[in-house]
């Protein structure tokens, strides 16, 4: 390839990258994930072209031009890495909410699957408490003392059960997401089974007249924790559905594309698990009145609703600006 062929082949890409460098240097408010991906692709191609030009056309102006273009692109990319905090803030305040609103049907489906397991196991244990032994793991059963729930001398057992439930929920969230690669079958099973665990526990404490105490123990962290599980489960169901019904695309392409969206949904649940863990570590085993724990649960519910509403508002403002700018 001579220098004229080299210029003719890649000139459009260089000009496109140059325009993006100028635009992004002036304003970064309009930067989107798609633009970042395109910018990175053009930058890598230009870097490869520079290496080729330095080898075969070291004394040509094109080499100097490419060296300057790649240098500017690198500096801009480096500055974007420095401002990663802004990208993280944008993700949790806008991007994650947008994905959640787009895929809300799958999140609801995850909630329904959980409810099916919970209601079924509750009815089973309600009819015969001995069914609990065929549902719950032995180590969890050993830590359950309904008559001590909410009392100071029962805090050790309560903490054991709380830790077991939290560990199980985090494991279920990750596996429910990963289960999407099994066409969603593993995700469906895990959601139902996790519902079975909660439902059977609720029925056991109902038999002992401790339902009020039980839910005061569960809901402060459970509202946030279960919401995170439903989102992760919805991500797995989304991936599984696209594999099962690929449409006009290959299953490999669907897996690649939907996995990106599902991973983002899963990442968005991390702060939810952190908040739930803090609540579970400090509020759940505390000696606060049960009414105060229910108030805390109501506060977490309001917080989640406000988070989604504010995120939706930010998303609407961003879309309005983009429409106005275009």
Cβ contacts of 175 within 8 Å, gap of 6 or more: 186, 190
- Listing DSSP states for 1-22 in one string gives --HHHHHHHHHHHHHHHHHHHH
Does residue 186 form part of some domain?
yes
pTM of the full structure = 0.69
Neighbour-count burial of 294, counting CB atoms closer than 10 A to its CB (0-12 exposed, 13-18 middle, 19+ buried): middle
CB contact burial 227-262 (16+ within 10 A = b; e otherwise): bbbbbbbbbbbbbbbbbeeeeeeeeeebbeebbebb
Residues 135 and 66 in one domain: no
pLDDT in tens, the chain (326 residues): 788 888 889 989 998 888 888 887 776 555 666 777 788 888 889 988 988 888 888 878 788 788 888 888 877 766 544 455 677 788 888 889 988 988 899 999 999 999 999 999 999 999 998 898 888 877 777 767 676 565 544 444 455 555 565 666 677 788 988 898 898 999 999 999 989 999 999 999 999 898 999 999 889 989 999 999 999 999 999 889 888 887 666 777 677 777 778 888 888 888 888 888 888 877 877 888 999 999 999 999 999 999 999 989 988 887 666 555 44
Last residue of a domain, one of 42, 60, 82: 82
Whether 89 is covered by a domain: the verdict is: no
**What pLDDT is stored for residue 325 in this prediction?**
45
Q: Are residues 121 and 265 in the same domain?
A: yes
Tokens of 30: 């309009």
Sign of the four-CA dihedral 191, 193, 198, 199: positive
| Residue 120 and residue 44 in one domain | no
Judgement on whether residues 46 and 167 belong to the same structural domain of the protein: no
Non-local (6+) Cβ contacts of 155 within 8 A are: 285
Could you tell me the CA-to-CA distances from 100 to 20, 95, 122, 265, 308 in Å, in that order? 30, 9, 30, 7, 9
Domain assignment present for residue 317? The answer is: yes
pLDDT of the residue at 51 = 86
pLDDT for 249 equals 60
Distance (Å, rounded) from C-alpha 40 to C-alpha 47? 11
Number of domains composing the chain = 2
* Alpha carbons 175 and 159: distance in angstroms, whole number: 24
Two tokens, residue 312: 């939706």
Supply the range of the domain harboring residue 152.
94-325
The domain boundary, picked from 56, 82, 108, lies at 82
Statement to judge: residues 270 and 156 lie in one domain: yes
How far, in Å, are 145, 310, 321, 322 from residue 317 at the CA level? 51, 11, 6, 9
Q: Please give the helix or strand (H or E) that residue 132 lies within, else none.
A: none
CA 300 – CA 278 distance, rounded (Å)? 12
CA dihedral 128, 172, 310, 239 (to 10 degrees): -120
The confidence score (pLDDT) of residue 326 equals: 42
Q: Do 34 and 127 share a structural domain?
A: no
Q: What is the DSSP letter of 91?
A: I
* Domain limit, last residue, from 82, 115, 131: 82
Using the structure block, give the residue that is written with the tokens 């500055």.
79
- Is there a single domain that holds both residue 126 and residue 31? no
Residue 88 lies in a domain: no
Do 178 and 210 lie in one domain? The reply is: yes
pLDDT at 321: 63
Q: Is 163 inside any structural domain?
A: yes
Question: Do 103 and 39 fall into the same domain?
Answer: no
Q: Identify whether the C-beta of residue 33 lies closer than 8 Å to the C-beta of residue 95.
A: yes
Residue count (the chain):
326
Q: Is 206 exposed, middle or buried (0-12, 13-18, 19+ CB in 10 A)?
A: middle
Judge whether 12 and 44 are in contact, CB under 8 Å. Answer: no
Q: Is residue 87 part of a domain?
A: no
């Amino acid at each position: 390839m001579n220098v004229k062929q080299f210029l003719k082949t890649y000139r459009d890409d260089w000009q496109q990258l140059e325009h993006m460098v100028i635009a992004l240097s002036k304003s970064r408010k309009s930067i989107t994930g798609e633009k970042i991906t395109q910018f990175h692709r053009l930058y890598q191609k230009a870097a490869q072209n520079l290496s080729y030009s330095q080898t075969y056309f070291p004394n040509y102006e094109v080499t100097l031009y490419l060296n300057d273009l790649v240098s500017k692109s690198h500096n801009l990319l480096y500055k974007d890495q420095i401002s990663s905090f802004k990208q993280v803030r944008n993700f949790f305040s806008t991007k994650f909410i947008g994905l959640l609103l787009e895929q809300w049907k799958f999140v609801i489906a995850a909630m329904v699957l959980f409810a099916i397991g919970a209601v079924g196991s509750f009815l089973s244990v309600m009819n015969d408490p001995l069914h609990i032994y065929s549902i719950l793991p032995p180590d969890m059963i050993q830590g359950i003392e309904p008559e001590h729930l909410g009392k100071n001398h029962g805090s050790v057992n309560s903490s054991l059960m709380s830790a077991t439930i939290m560990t199980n929920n985090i494991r279920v969230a990750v596996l429910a997401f990963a289960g999407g690669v099994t066409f969603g079958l593993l995700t469906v099973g895990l959601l139902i089974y996790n519902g079975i665990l909660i439902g059977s526990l609720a029925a056991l404490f109902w038999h002992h007249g401790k339902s009020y105490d039980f839910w005061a123990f569960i809901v402060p962290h459970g509202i946030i924790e279960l919401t995170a599980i439903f989102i992760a489960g919805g991500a797995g169901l989304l991936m599984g559905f696209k594999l099962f019904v690929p449409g006009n695309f290959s299953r490999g392409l669907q897996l690649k594309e939907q996995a990106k969206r599902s991973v983002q949904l899963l990442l968005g649940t991390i702060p939810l698990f952190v908040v739930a863990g803090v609540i579970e570590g400090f509020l759940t085993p505390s000696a606060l009145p049960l009414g105060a724990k229910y108030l805390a649960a109501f506060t977490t519910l309001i917080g989640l609703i406000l988070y989604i509403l504010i995120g939706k508002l930010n998303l609407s403002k961003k879309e309005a600006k983009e429409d106005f700018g275009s």
